[in-house]
Structure formats: structure tokens, C-alpha cells
Amino acid sequence: MSDRTAVKAFLKSQVIETPSWGYGNSGTRFKVFAQAGVPRDPYEKLDDAAQVHAATGVAPVVSLHIPWDRVDDYGSLVRHAKERGVRLGAINANVFQDDAYKLGSVTHPDPAVRRQATDHLLQCVDVMDVTGSHDLKLWFADGTNYPGQDDIVARQDRLAEALSEVYGRLGDDQRILLEYKLFEPAFYTTDVPDWGTSYAHCLELGEKAQVVVDTGHHAPGTNIEFIVAFLLRQGKLGGFDFNSRFYADDDLMAGAADPFQLFRILHQVAVNGGFSPSTGVAFLLDQCHNIEAKIPAVIRSVMNVQEATAKALLVDSEALGAAQRSGDVLGANAVLMDAYNTDVRPLLAEVRQEQGIDPDPLAAYRASGWAERIVAERVGGEQAGWGA
Ligand code: LRH
Ligand code: MN
Ligand code: MN
């Protein structure tokens, strides 16, 4: 798609889902630097997410993390979101913060702990029924730290059993997105360490199970766009957790560390039909803002994804195909680099103007006075955050 009007139309329709936990306090294991004005509950996280959507026009969906976002009445959260012009998206299960999970959750050697973990996953599907969410996003911290600690294959069997029980509970328009991560918190083996393991489990489960690619979850140097292309070909790419990394799972702003990688990934999405809503690829952010202001950081990340998307869509596919077919190595590479080196900011400013929003989302947010308002109003109470 290199036609400017079509590119602009797509950019207006693109949906980038933001994570509730990105609005709360977070940190490293060394220190959490609390920020003034941070949400005190899931309702206030939605209020902040609505500001991101107001500024960017493309972030109307918010992922929840349970139990971080536990409320008594999820229906009231749905109504609150609606009033703010946003809606609830993926439900992320959390089976990594209970004392019981020291040796794993669904792969734990003790069946009682596995039952507890699986029950939580099933409860997350109950939440989805109320929130109208389609995606159950599963990431397991499960693994071992020492050789010999547990039986690797027995853990795979336990994982498969739990996944299959949860899969059986899914409604027709619900799916499992199974996330992988190379390591951390387990340091020797991780039960879902890579896309291949996730893919194999999803294949066994059926068509309502797909792989989610978190861009921070690979070994350094991994060719993520190859994984994306492969999964798209198999119809098994469920979505992305976008963030940036320099070293490991850094969870920095998407597009900050390596915008060229983000472009290469989105180019593969573009050429393999992943932007078509029918493929169901979800574009989620999964990041934390430890030292920078949170709402502007989410706005910047959304803009970075939009810029990389615009560049990916501007690739002259006819010229690229012709160069590839004729074996013109340098020519093909030049077509790609031409798109990457295009300054798409004026195009995106036009898109925003046509959407009726400010061409400069960060300036619009600054001018809104929201930052000052939340600092003044959100005093007292516990601040919600990563792990709260
Ligand atoms: C794990 C992960 C997963 C969790 C989120 C908080 O590292 O990427 O997606 O749900 O972080
Ligand atoms: Mn993630
Ligand atoms: Mn992560």
C-alpha cells in the first residue's frame, strides 16, 4: 500500500491498545520512584488512558491486568470506560505474584497449586465475559533455576493440561494469546521460553490460541521480524506487546531503542496482511515508565508505533517485488530504506488534522492541563502501580 490516501485511511483506523499498568507506579527491583498524580485505582487508570486516546485518536482500548486491576464490579468499569470514550481490551492473567507460585503456577509440581493457578485463569475468562474482552493474554513466569530442579517434560505436560482446560472455557469470540519470554524470573529453564514453544502449544490447542510477540522477550540479536513473518504465514500471530529494550526485558517506550527494528517488524506485518482486521493481530503496548512522566510517555510510544506503521505502509511494494524477482539485492534494500528514511511526521500531522485532533499530540496533552489536575486532585489513598 503506497498510495497516500490509503495509507492515511489506515492510519486513522489503526488501534493501539495501551496497558493499565503503564499508568501506575513501577520501577526496578532496586527502587520504585513514586510520581505525583498517579492513578489510585483502575478507574483512574482508565481516565489517564482516555487522555492518551484524546491526544492521539488511535488508542481507544485499554488492557487490564488481574488482580492488579481487580474491582468488585467489572460492569461498572465497563461503564466508566465508555463514559470516557475508551473500552476494555485484553485481560492479562497474573499467576506470578502469589507466594504459592515459588516453584511455578500451572507447571508447579503440586497439583493443588496448579488448581489455584488454573482457577485464576478461568476467573479471568469470567471477567472477559463481563468486559466483552476477546483476548486472554497469558504469560507464565514458570521455570526452574537449577539443573535437576524439576522434570522439563513433566512441566510441559502440566502446562498443556492447564491450557487445554482454559481453552475449553473460551467463548466463541474469545482466544488465548500465549506469550513467551526467554528468561526471568526463572534463570535456568523457562517453560514458555520462545515462539516455537508457544506455537506448538497453540497448535495443539486449536484455532482460538495464538502467539503473542513481546518485543522485549528475545535473546539479543534475535530476528524478530522473521518470527512475525513466520507466524503470520501460519495464521498464528495473535498480537504484539510493544516496548523497547537495550539489554533484556527493559520495558522502555516502543520505538525508542531501535525504531528501525520496529519498522522492519511492521513491514512484515504489512506485506503479510497483518494490518487487515480479519487477521486479528492486536497491537498492544506493554511498558512501564519508571523515571519519565507516564501519560506523555504512552503518547510518545503510540506516536512511535504510528510513525513506524506509516513508513511500513509507504514501502513501494511494486518496486520492491520487481527488485526481489530480478535479484536486485541493492535495489530491493534501497526501496525499503527509502520508506524508512521518509519523514512521516507531516503525513501524520495531516492525518490528525483530518481526524479533528491536534497535529501535535504531546503539545495538546500539555495544553489540556490534565497533568496539573491529577497532581492536585489525586492525593491520599494508595497509588496503584505495578504489583499493587
Ligand atoms: C512479562 C510481561 C507480561 C506481563 C507483563 C507485566 O515480562 O511482558 O506481558 O503480563 O510483563
Ligand atoms: Mn509482555
Ligand atoms: Mn515483559
CATH number of the domain to which 83 belongs: 3.20.20.150
Residue 121 within a domain: yes
What's the full length of the chain, in residues? 388
Residue 63 within a domain: yes
Please tell me whether the peptide bond between 361 and the residue prior to it is cis, using omega within 30 degrees of 0: no
How close is the Cα of 376 to the center of ligand 3, in Å? 32
The minimum-distance atom of ligand 1 relative to the CA of 139 is: 3
How close is the Cα of 30 to the center of ligand 1, in Å? 18
Question: From the CB of 250, is ligand 1 less than 6 Å away?
Answer: no
Question: From the CB of 214, is ligand 1 less than 6 Å away?
Answer: yes
Decide the pairing of beta strands 143-144 and 135-138. unpaired
pLDDT in tens, 87-115: 999 999 999 999 999 999 999 999 999 99
Question: From the CB of 69, is ligand 1 less than 6 Å away?
Answer: no
Question: From the CB of 20, is ligand 1 less than 6 Å away?
Answer: no
CA distance 156 to 143: 10
CA distance 335 to 321: 10
Question: From the CB of 140, is ligand 1 less than 6 Å away?
Answer: no
C-alpha cell at 227: 518470527
Residue 204 within a domain: yes
Question: From the CB of 135, is ligand 1 less than 6 Å away?
Answer: no
Residue 222 within a domain: yes
Ion ligand 2 — residues with CB < 5 Å: 214, 241, 286
Residue 260 within a domain: yes
Q: In this structure, which residue's CA is closest to atom 11 in ligand 1?
A: 286
The minimum-distance atom of ligand 1 relative to the CA of 65 is: 10
Residue 384 within a domain: no
Q: In this structure, which residue's CA is closest to atom 3 in ligand 1?
A: 139
Count the domains in the chain: 1
Other CB atoms within a 10 A radius of the CB of residue 258 amount to: 15
The values of phi and psi at residue 167, to 5°, are -60, -40
CA distances from 75 to 35, 70, 358 (A): 29, 12, 32
Question: From the CB of 150, is ligand 1 less than 6 Å away?
Answer: no
Q: In this structure, which residue's CA is closest to atom 9 in ligand 1?
A: 139
Decide the pairing of beta strands 175-179 and 135-138. parallel
Q: Is the ipTM above a cut-off of 0.90?
A: yes
How close is the Cα of 205 to the center of ligand 2, in Å? 21
How close is the Cα of 179 to the center of ligand 3, in Å? 9
The minimum-distance atom of ligand 1 relative to the CA of 94 is: 10
pTM: 0.97
CA distance 52 to 303: 10
Domain that holds residue 95: 4-377
Over the chain, what HEC string results? CCCHHHHHHHHHHCCCEEEHHHCCECECCCCECCCCCCCCCHHHHHHHHHHHHHHHCCCCEEEEEECCCCCCCHHHHHHHHHHCCCEEEEEEECCCCCHHHHHCCCCCCCHHHHHHHHHHHHHHHHHHHHHCCCEEEECCCCEECCCCCCCHHHHHHHHHHHHHHHHHHCCCCCEEEEECCCCCCCCCEECCCCHHHHHHHHHHHCCCEEEEEECCCCCCCCCHHHHHHHHHHCCCEEEEEECECCCCCCCECCCCCCHHHHHHHHHHHHHCCCCCHHHCCEEEECCCCCCCCHHHHHHHHHHHHHHHHHHHHHCCHHHHHHHHHCCCHHHHHHHHHHHHCCCCHHHHHHHHHHHCCCCCHHHHHHHHCHHHHHHHHCCCCCCCECCC
Residue 382 within a domain: no
C-alpha cell at 194: 520462545
Residue 385 within a domain: no
Q: Considering only CA atoms, give the Rg of the chain.
A: 21
How close is the Cα of 215 to the center of ligand 2, in Å? 8
CA distance 316 to 331: 12
How close is the Cα of 91 to the center of ligand 2, in Å? 12
The minimum-distance atom of ligand 1 relative to the CA of 243 is: 8
Which of 119, 136, 210 lies closest to 171, judged by CA? Answer: 136
pLDDT 10s digit of each residue in the chain, 388 long? 568 999 999 999 999 999 999 999 999 999 999 999 999 999 999 999 999 999 999 999 999 999 999 999 999 999 999 999 999 999 999 999 999 999 999 999 999 999 999 999 999 999 999 999 999 999 999 999 999 999 999 999 999 999 999 999 999 999 999 999 999 999 999 999 999 999 999 999 999 999 999 999 999 999 999 999 999 999 999 999 999 999 999 999 999 999 999 999 999 999 999 999 999 999 999 999 999 999 999 999 999 999 999 999 999 999 999 999 999 999 999 999 999 999 999 999 999 999 999 999 999 999 999 999 999 999 975 666 665 4
Q: In this structure, which residue's CA is closest to atom 5 in ligand 1?
A: 286
How close is the Cα of 193 to the center of ligand 1, in Å? 13
CA distance 108 to 142: 8
How close is the Cα of 217 to the center of ligand 3, in Å? 6
How close is the Cα of 330 to the center of ligand 2, in Å? 36
pLDDT in tens, 220-235: 999 999 999 999 999 9
